[in-house]
Amino acid sequence: PTPVHPSTLFAVDGLLTDEEREIRGTVRRLCDEELRPNLPGWFEEGRIPARDLARSFGSLGLLGMHLEGYGCAGLGAVAYGLACLELEGADSGLRSLVSVQGSLAMFAIWKYGSEEQKQRWLPGMATGEHIGCFGLTEPDHGSDPAGMRTSARRDGADWVLNGTKMWITNGSVADVAVVWARTDDGVRGFLVPAGTPGFSANDIGRKLSLRASVTSELVLEDVRLPADAMLPEVRGLRGPLGCLNEARFGIVFGALGAALDCLETAIAYAGDREVFGRPLASFQLTQEKLADMALEVGKGMLLAVHLGRLKEAGEVTPEQISAGKLNNVREALEVARTCRTILGANGVTLEYPVIRHAVNLESVLTYEGTSEIHTLVLGRTLTGHPAFA
């Protein structure tokens, strides 16, 4: 019998519209023709052409793609998810760039900003002319942002910010940082343009994961901002946590892209590789691995599309997004590790994408809420008992 591609096993394509399949095809072509060939090199060097990438994603409408107005494409959640899936199938770092730009930085401005802030930043961010970052995590407060120390105090009409943000994607390449800080009034968001005196971004080196992504520390030393730098429409942690729902949703799809790329690679490799005189793919142990992985990717895809449709109907809950992020990232990481075993020693080199996806997914498991935090979110949902603290 002719082998069936793992992505077609569950006939999920039947759940997509023609427009969604078209968008997926466009992003896939960009990845295949312009990005995938460069990734081993970018990953090895730990450097990406972030500005060129942002412009190229912007020209396809992928930045702030699910937002309405201000030059954004205004597409549905599933279309956005499929774009994330294709990008992450190339490398999680590419999806990170797009997630942080569209779902965190642009979303914060779009949802909580003043009309002037939206007009100033969103059109340029949609084209990729301007890059944004999102500073919530601090050196001593990651899972527990309620403990943040970064502060903003009033000085006349101005704001003065002090503090450090850590692990910030796009940090040193950003034209504008969305920085969350404690005020007398609760947590508020601030727009900090690059180049503001007292504000600096230092790249974090020696990463062995997400090497094709910029990760930085943001330092704020008496950064003076005008009154209108504050996002007026939200106060409290529900501001940044509301943005996280958007980016976590993209990861529900994105992680499956990395898993599928690993699975396709492993199936092809097992078909070609002969061990003990016959193809590795013909051994039952290998087939069990492949069957289990195809099940997880297929179930994950059904969950992702279902959550996407709920989101489009305005009905998805943060807890459901937590469930999707937890499940799909955990399973994608397991798939990547298992595919790595199928490739044997070849699995540890950058000649194949599998180890790159596996080490990237270690970051994806941690950022946007660790697997433990999402487990506790579900635990609270099921029992009514918060067990975070």
Interaction partner, residue 242 (ligand TGC, ligand FAD, none; CB < 5-8 Å by kind): ligand TGC
Contact residue for ligand TGC among 7, 117, 150, 245 (CB under 6 A) = 245
Distance CA 98, CA 199 (A): 23
Residue least distant from ligand FAD (Cβ): 142
Is residue 50 a contact point for ligand FAD (CB under 6 A)? no
Is 45 an active-site residue? no
How many whole angstroms separate alpha carbon 150 and alpha carbon 221? Answer: 10
**Residues in CB range of 170: below 8 A, 6 or more apart:** 50, 97, 100, 101, 105, 131, 132, 133, 214, 216
When CB distances are held under 5 to 8 angstroms depending on the partner's kind, the choice from ligand FAD, ligand TGC, none that residue 244 binds is ligand TGC
If one asks whether residue 381 binds ligand FAD (CB under 6 A), the answer comes out as: no
Single out the catalytic residue among 217, 246, 331, 368: 368
Query: Judged by CB under 6 A, does residue 164 bind ligand FAD?
Result: no
377 interface partner picked from ligand FAD, ligand TGC, none, CB below 5 to 8 A per type? ligand TGC
**Closer CB to ligand FAD, residue 142 or residue 193?**
142
- Provide the phi-psi class of 316: left if phi over 0, else alpha when psi is between -120 and 50, else beta: beta
How far from chain centre, in Å, is Cα 192? Answer: 22
Count how many Cα atoms sit within 13 Å of the Cα of residue 343 in the half-sphere of its side chain. Answer: 25
> Which contacts of 18-22 are long-range, i.e. CB under 8 A and separated by 24 or more positions?
19/75, 19/79, 20/76, 20/78, 20/79, 20/82
Q: Which option in ligand FAD, ligand TGC, none does residue 135 bind, with CB closer than 5 to 8 A by kind?
A: ligand FAD
Q: Is 168 in the site for ligand FAD (CB under 6 A)?
A: yes
Q: Are strands 186-193 and 176-183 parallel, antiparallel or unpaired?
A: antiparallel
Residue 163 as a binder of ligand FAD (CB under 6 A): the answer is: no
Q: Which is nearer to ligand TGC, 6 or 88 (CB)?
A: 88
Residue closer to ligand FAD (CB basis): 80 or 167:
167
Q: Which stretch binds ligand TGC (CB under 6 A): 43-51, 65-73, 92-100, 350-358?
A: 92-100
Interaction between residue 245 and ligand FAD (CB under 6 A): no
329/375 Cα distance (integer angstroms): 12
Binding partner of 360, given ligand TGC, ligand FAD, none, CB within 5-8 angstroms per partner class = none
Element (H, E) at 181: strand 176-183
Report how far residue 293's alpha carbon sits from residue 274's, in angstroms, rounded to the nearest whole number: 21
Check residue 363 for interaction with ligand FAD (CB under 6 A).
Answer: yes
Query: Which residue stretches of the chain are H helix?
Result: 18-30, 39-45, 50-59, 77-90, 92-98, 107-112, 115-127, 238-272, 284-312, 318-342, 354-366, 371-383
Touching ligand FAD, residues 311-350 (CB under 6 A): none
Question: Minimum distance between the CB of residue 360 and ligand FAD, rounded to whole angstroms?
Answer: 9
**168 or 251: CB nearest ligand FAD:** 168
CA pair distance 347, 22, nearest whole angstrom: 32
Closest CA to 87 of 100, 78, 96, 79: 96
Hey, which residues are catalytic here? 368
Q: Which residues bind ligand TGC (CB under 6 A)?
A: 96, 99-100, 134, 136-137, 143, 145-146, 169, 236-238, 241-242, 244-245, 247, 318, 367-369, 373, 377, 386, 388
Q: Which residues bind ligand FAD (CB under 6 A)?
A: 100, 134-137, 142-143, 167-169, 210, 215, 363, 366-367, 370, 372-373, 388
